[in-house]
Structures are given as structure tokens and as C-alpha cells.
Chain A
């Protein structure tokens, strides 16, 4: 993947420095949320597959690390203020975590992209949705893989059991990110990793940046697995609707196969995530309870913001 296009003065500074161009002065203040989001996304990407046109030294650049740290802190503060402003912050003990996750998900009434795809979306809207989703799905499960070494025994074993399935249980053909790439190709979109980052809405980038933030900070391990639980708990039924929508539009084939796989897989994963991962982490490290619920709330909240942005870009009232 090549470096994305800058979206303002901060991302221009960051991307230039990633490319190895000597930078002048300190990082400037961001032009806005979009500028900030693409800068942080690129700084995180250095830690995943990286960019073919970025310098390998970027990983150890303390100037870039300082910018990343500042942007991550700003993002966390923003996410926490949304969590504090919600009415979901109930007093929950460790044993109550699986039920609290269930309650959070049940109380979520964000606009449903899956309902729209199932019944109304046209082909262009589905293609746009897939381009936006590709930013995450082509690195599906990767942000959560950072968390493995940070967990106690039971949660670690359970997370790896879940991730093993995400990564195809040893079969590269069944690796979820690869299934999505095959799906993109089949519907005529570009399957290369990171192909549509320049088209990503700020909401798409924020969603991805939050996943990386939770995965990369040990302190936020609870938020990472809480996010995972909420994601898995809101996946099976919507995936089935997406399959129906793709079939309705004559887009059956590998992309429908990708979502079809998630109907059954995530019915398993949601149980593992809520009980075996989040439940045991809460029991073993009770100070992570709040982080778990914060992560779950953030997943639902960012998905709702993303869905709202998509509907608004299509001029569809929700």
C-alpha cells in the first residue's frame, strides 16, 4: 500500500515525515477532524503492514511517536466523553459483565445499514459501503491480535480460540480478511490491502483508529475486548440481512459468502467474547470492568455514527 493523500497541514507534515522527507519545525495543529483522523490512521498503519513508500525508520521516529501519542490521547478523551455522556454507565460488578454487555447491545437503536441493504439499497450504495468497510475488513481481527500478550490466562486462551477462527483456523483460504478480498474482487472492486483509504469517511477512520488505540495500549485491554464483544454480538443477524441484500441485487458469490461465514462464526464468537473473554477478564482483573463496558459502548456508538454518515451521504432519512 502507498501512503494516503493528506487532508490538511498536520497529515501533510506526518505523511511527509513518513516518506522520509526532512520535516521543518514541530507538527502543526490539525486543520480539522479529517486531517487528524488520516494522520493517526497512517501513524497506526506503520505498525501493521506499513507503506511501500514510507521509510522503515518511521517506526522508531520519536517525533512521529509524540504526534501519535497526542492524537491517541485526544481520541480517547473524545470517546470517553461520549461514554460519560451516555446513560449506559451503570454500576456493574465483575460477575455482571456478560449481562451488562447484553443490555448495552439490546439498548442500541443505532440506524441499521444491514436493514437498508436487505430491502432498499441500490448497487452503488452497496459498493460504497463495501469500500468503506474494506478499510477494516482487509485487516480484520488484526487490531485485536495486539491484545493477546496483555491478557490473563483464561481470557488469553479464549481470545486465541476466537482469533484462530478469524484467521481461518490455519487455512489461508478461510482467513476472514482474505474472504473479504475475494468478495471485493468478485464485485469489481480493488482487493488490495488499503485500496480505498483515500475514500474513507472521517467516521470510518475514527472507527478504525479507535480499534488500533484499544489494541495498542495495554491500559485499554479491557476496552479492546469489550469492543470485540459488542462487535461480535451485533454481527450474526446483520450479516444475514447483508447476504439477503446482496442476493437481491444479484451480488451473490464470494462477497455473500464472506457475510454468510459471519452468520455462523459470529454466533459462536459472541458467546466466547462475552463470557470467556470479557467475563473472565473482569473476574481476574476487576479494575477492567469499566474499560470493557467503555469499549463495548464505543463500538456501538462509532457504528451508529458511521451508519448515520452513510445514510446522510445517500440522502436517505433515518
Chain B
């Protein structure tokens, strides 16, 4: 069986970060532009990360 698989560039993780594939730079909420050095990055959506704009897993400590 061969088929086309969904492989989106941007993925919203349930109760988690936004994954972005293939980006070369990201502008954060303050307008600072960050270079991207990995193939996939996780962007914080809970706004509690100590590494904004990147996810650092802090969302897991926030009660849902």
C-alpha cells in the first residue's frame, strides 16, 4: 500500500507547544528575531516557558 501521508509544517500539540518544521528564523512577541538551528522547533503556547519563544516543557506543570 502506498499513500500520501499528512506531514504538516506547523503542528499544534494538544495542551502543548506549536511544532514548526523547516523554519530559519522566528520572531518572538517582543519583536526579537531568533535564528533556528534545528530541523523542528517547539514554540511555547502557554507563555510560561523560561526560554521564550521556545517550549521548555513548563506547560506540563500547569493544571489543566
B35 at the interface (CB under 8 A from A): no
A271 to B55, CA, bound (A): 11
0/1 per residue, A17-47, Cβ < 8 Å to B? Answer: 0000000000000000000000000000000
CB distance from B61 to the nearest CB of A (A): 7
Q: Is the beta-carbon distance between B54 and A161 smaller than 8 angstroms?
A: no
A106 to B59, CA, bound (A): 13
A118 at the interface (CB under 8 A from B): no
0/1 per residue, A253-293, Cβ < 8 Å to B? Answer: 00000000001111110111001000000000000000000
How many interface residues does A have (CB within 8 Å)?
22
Q: Is the beta-carbon distance between B42 and A161 smaller than 8 angstroms?
A: no
Q: Majority SS of interface residues in chain B? A: loop
A267 to B58, CA, bound (A): 9
CB distance from B10 to the nearest CB of A (A): 12
Interface residues on B, range: 20 to 34
Q: Is the beta-carbon distance between A263 and B56 smaller than 8 angstroms?
A: yes
Contacts of A128 in B (CB 8 A): none
Partner of B39, one of A154, A165, A264, A270: A165
Q: Is the beta-carbon distance between A271 and B39 smaller than 8 angstroms?
A: no
A237 at the interface (CB under 8 A from B): yes
Q: Is the beta-carbon distance between A154 and B13 smaller than 8 angstroms?
A: no
CB distance from A8 to the nearest CB of B (A): 41
Q: Which residues of A contact B (CB under 8 A)?
A: 106, 153-154, 157, 161, 164-165, 169, 174, 236-237, 240, 263-268, 270-272, 275
Pairs across A and B, CB under 8 Å, 5 listed = A154-B5, A157-B7, A236-B56, A237-B56, A267-B54
